[in-house]
Structure 1
Amino acid sequence: MPGTGNFVGEFMILFGTYGHFKLITIISVFGLVFASVYALWMMQQAYYGSPKTAERTYKGLNLREFLILFILVVLLVILGFFPQPVLDTSISAMENLQTWYSASLSTVRL
């Protein structure tokens, strides 16, 4: 879902692979769209579908559980809109991987 941390990673991977592996990237995009639609459909069925068993009553979240969930959701959305601080922490490792990958491409033909 756009605006969350997962979307940033998926978009960066697809954007980076499109130049070299167009067919695989296009297939991956269809897979991601299908998975997103399926996940949204499952959530819709879970929250708004008819119950399959006898109704049970569950108490809601207590304050502690709500605060933990709220903090995690806020962090996920912040990561979705501002991913650069997290990406900056891994820049040296990514540069090393890029160097190793470039060196391996010069010896292996894909």
Structure 2
Amino acid sequence: MSLQERYEEYLKEFELDARQGIIDSLASEGYGALNSLKFSEDDQGVSAEAEVQLRGIAAPWIFRRRIILPDGPLDKSWLASTLFSTAMIEDLDTRAWPPATE
């Protein structure tokens, strides 16, 4: 069983909370809009990846963080989603504008 299957409910809760937090933060800061929020899994765990369409930039900007380790999540889903969205906005706040795209 994959980690995404094992923690399906956790990931659903994370996605709901993170999506709203990201949408609200991007709008209030005037950075742009969330294109997608998805998960990927490798031997190091599960990562969340937000693709953001930044204002005035053609290529999307990607923000990625590991949220579940092979041993399981480190935080409750609501806390992990808050940390994810906060770290993403802090990353945008502290980068030269416009941030480099991948």
Structure 2-normalised TM-score? 0.30
Structure 1-normalised TM-score? 0.28
**Structure number with bigger Rg:** 1
- Higher strand residue share: 2
Higher relative contact order (CA 8 A, sep 6+): 1
